[in-house]
Amino acid sequence: MPSFSSVLVANRGEIARRVILACREAGLRSIAVYSDADADAPYVRLADDAVHLGPTPASESYLSIERLLVAAKESGAEAVHPGYGFLSERAEFARAVTDAGLVFIGPTADVMDAMGRKDRARAIAERAGVPVAPQFPADAVPAGAYPVLVKAAAGGGGKGMRIVRDADSLPAALEAAGREAASAFGDETLLVETYVEAGRHVEVQVFGDEHGNVVHLFERDCSVQRRHQKVVEEAPAWGLTDELRRTLHESSVALCREVGYTGAGTVEFLVARDPAGADRAYFLEMNTRLQVEHPVTEEITGLDLVQWQLAVAAGEPLPLAQDEITASGHAMEVRVYAEDPYAGFLPQAGHVLAVAWPEDVRVESDLAPDAEVSTAYDPMLGKIVVDGVDREDARRRLVAALDDTGVFGLTTNLGFVRRLVAGDEFAAGEVHTAWLDSEAAADVLRPPTVPEEAVDVAARLWARSVVVGTDDPFGAVDGWRSGSDPAPVLITLTDAAGRAWTSAVDPDVDDGGALAIIDRDGVTIAWQGQPWTLEVPDPMRGGHQRGASTDADLVAPMPGTVLRVDVAEGDTVVLGQPLGVVEAMKMELALTAPYDGVVSHVGAAPGDQVPIKHLLFTVDPS
């Protein structure tokens, strides 16, 4: 029998939903927590009980240990599941939970202290015989060591991380990474290691229990990344030799045994080719929690890792021994983000008009129509997971699933990831961790233009849906005319760039299940994941103003805080010169001069909170 019967889920969104459903399957009472922003979220209604934490900012809700413990006490929770993200790797939270007499569903606080910091984890990995990358003192990096990677010792998610290619760039990178790390984790300690070019990110899923058992559940490849955050994951990792795969598995288990690890964890490696042409693995870090990408491991093993977490936390031994764990087939997962891939992957906010998820595949999301997505939290909206008999089968199924997905009213990465996984480079397994930052990714990162086929389908949908008096044959948009064959139905639509498209359509032709929102003014169609808004020209309405700002204006790309203002009105600037820095989502965004000119307007001061599209600087051409 479990040592607890109720679980407080200290997270939100699709993460909370995943844990709540697992608790329901295990016969445990689930308790959700929510901020002001999430009061009407679907996961809150899904749980058996729910407790309000506080205001929208995470610091006053999901990151408040005090508020979470009060919620646990008020709700009668006996255990706490931290999910992944937020406080899931904070040793002080795990310690506070157990000190309050509750069960923490995760590793012990002492293990989190040891492995949650990259500097301590590296030292432990070396003792366990895990391969590591060369490391250097921040103030004494050898001239021949570049490129190097500067990374925060605390935390993860790509925060406080910089690639440095020469000695002149190191001081600025250390300053920026330290400031970002202090903001995100409250700790500005940094590590400097050799940066391995064109490496693959391969990680091993591990599990331990209180009885001394430790197993691995094979490995995943998470090499498709932007800003050091994962976009596409798959299991197993492709193309590894048996020897390298064995090294990854055995060293990961050895690391867990070294620290007495319990629960779910992930040991992350960088795999790259050495000068002799052999693939080598270098330890990166250990994540002392369940990972966002755990579903791909579940798909190839047929196991439920959250159920394993609940069992281990209840003091039970691992459900299976190492030789009883098998894997078959291939699985892939795409993370759906509220972000603009064609504007530096900047997080986006907005009102969700409609959502369409693919059928017959695994979807993990808590996103609902009419939701308000803000930049207060991580921009991930959900995950789409597929499996296949092999990698190519899984990839094709993922492309098809993305074709059947649409998010309307909010800018997302759906069209971008569809182009990515459908591309030759991903199909050939040529995407490494730095690929999206290289020239090789130029085509997939170039904003697409609306496909003619999408316009034709949109025109057909509009012709079929918009009728004036459906009982009046003279009002139908069907080309009917007296005494003659039907005339071609010509529909003209204009795209966001003002280009006019005219299509001859037959409203009776099948639209192939296209996803769209239609009204009298036009159509927004999701085509291969990418939404396109096409309007019906109306001379009585005039045109829509596409935006009042000019090339001279630099606006806030999202709500944030102004960290620095480097210029004043009247200053002469040159192309690329820094004008200021805005912080949003714990990420620093530098604004630079678009050309040589004179600053004619400065619209903020350091410390100001600015909304999205706030005019920060105007630069008049010289």
pLDDT tens-digit series, residues 291-312: 999 999 999 999 999 999 999 9
DSSP state of 106: S
Listed residue (317, 335, 447, 415) closest to 85, CA to CA: 335
**Can you tell me whether residue 262 is helix, strand or coil?**
coil
**For position 275, what pLDDT does the model report?**
76
Within 10 Å of residue 608's Cβ, how many Cβ atoms? 16
* pLDDT classification of 511: cutoffs 50, 70, 90: confident
Which 3-state string (H, E, C) describes 411-473? Answer: CCCHHHHHHHHHCHHHHCCCCCCCHHHCHHHCCCCCCCCCCHHHHHHHHHHHHHHCCCCCCCC
- The whole-model pTM stands at 0.84
Distance, in Å, from the CA atom of 37 to the CA atom of 460, rounded to the nearest integer, reads 39
For the domain with range 6-105, which CATH number is right: 3.40.50.20, 3.30.360.10, 3.40.1160.10, 3.30.1280.10?
A: 3.40.50.20
Report d(CA 622, CA 596) in Å as an integer.
6
Higher pLDDT, 154 or 548: 154
Burial code (b: 16+ CB inside 10 Å, e: under 16) for 70-99 equals: ebbeebebbbbbbbbbbbbbbbebbbbbee
* CB-count burial class (<10 Å; 0-12, 13-18, 19+) for 542: exposed
What class, spelled out in words, does domain 329-447 have in CATH? alpha beta
Q: E-strand spans in 543-603? A: 553-555, 560-565, 572-573, 578-584, 587-592, 597-602
455 Cβ contact partners less than 8 Å away, ≥ 6 residues apart: 493, 495, 501, 503, 532, 534
Segment 522-545 mean pLDDT: 79
Within 10 Å of residue 181's Cβ, how many Cβ atoms?
24
Q: Please state whether the peptide bond connecting residue 559 to the residue before it is cis, i.e. omega within 30 degrees of 0.
A: no
Place of tokens 């918009």: 466
Encoding tokens for residue 363? Answer: 């979807």
Cα–Cα dist 8/23, whole Å: 10
Distance of alpha carbon 10 from alpha carbon 618, whole angstroms:
44
Sign of the CA dihedral running 606, 608, 609, 612: negative
Per-residue burial over 498-523, b = 16 or more CB atoms within 10 Å of its CB, e = otherwise: eeebebebebeeeeeebbbbeeeebb
Residues in Cβ contact with 283 at an 8 Å cutoff, skipping those fewer than 6 apart? 121, 122, 125, 130, 131, 132, 133, 251, 267, 268, 269
For residues 69 and 424, give the distance between their C-alpha atoms in angstroms, rounded to a whole number.
50
Q: Phi and psi dihedrals of 291, rounded to 5?
A: -100, 155
Which of 226-240, 245-259, 305-319, 573-587 shows the lowest mean pLDDT across its residues? 573-587
Q: Out of 273-282, 386-395, 466-475, 570-579, give the one with best mean pLDDT.
A: 386-395
pLDDT exceeds 70 at position 375: yes
Range ranked top by mean pLDDT from 157-161, 280-284, 467-471:
280-284
Q: What is the pLDDT of residues 207-242, one digit of tens each?
A: 999 999 999 999 999 999 987 889 999 999 999 999
pLDDT at 545: 38
As a whole number of angstroms, the distance between CA 11 and CA 366 comes to 12
Of 49, 612, 45, 57, the C-alpha closest to 368 is 45
Judge residue 357's burial from the number of C-beta atoms within 10 Å of its C-beta, 0-12 exposed, 13-18 middle, 19 or more buried.
middle
Q: What is the DSSP string of 140-187?
A: ---GGG-SEEEEESB--TTTTEEEE-SGGGHHHHHHHHHHHHHHHHS-
Strands, E, within 6-122: which ranges? 6-9, 29-35, 49-54, 79-81, 103-104
The SS3 of residue 357 is: coil
Which pLDDT does position 217 carry in this prediction? Answer: 98
Task: Give the residue-averaged pLDDT of 408-437.
Answer: 96
The pLDDT of residue 468 is: 40
Is the model's pLDDT at 340 over the cut of 80? yes
Nearest to 296 by CA among 360, 350, 222: 222
Reply yes or no on whether the pLDDT at 201 is more than 80: yes
| Of the listed ranges 38-42, 147-151, 442-446, 506-510, the one predicted with least confidence | 506-510
User: What does DSSP say about strands 29-35 and 49-54: parallel, antiparallel, or unpaired?
Assistant: parallel
Going from the C-alpha of 39 to that of each of 80, 368, 372, the distances in angstroms are: 20, 13, 11
From residue 572, how far is each of 42, 549, 568, 596, 599 by CA, in Å?
52, 21, 9, 8, 6
CATH topology of domain 553-621: OB fold (Dihydrolipoamide Acetyltransferase, E2P) (2.40.50)
Q: Any idea where the domains of the chain sit in the sequence?
A: 6-105, 134-194, 329-447, 452-535, 553-621
| Range in 266-275, 306-315, 387-396 the model is least confident about | 266-275
Q: What is the CATH number of domain 134-194?
A: 3.30.1490.20
Cα angle 336, 435, 407; round to 5: 15
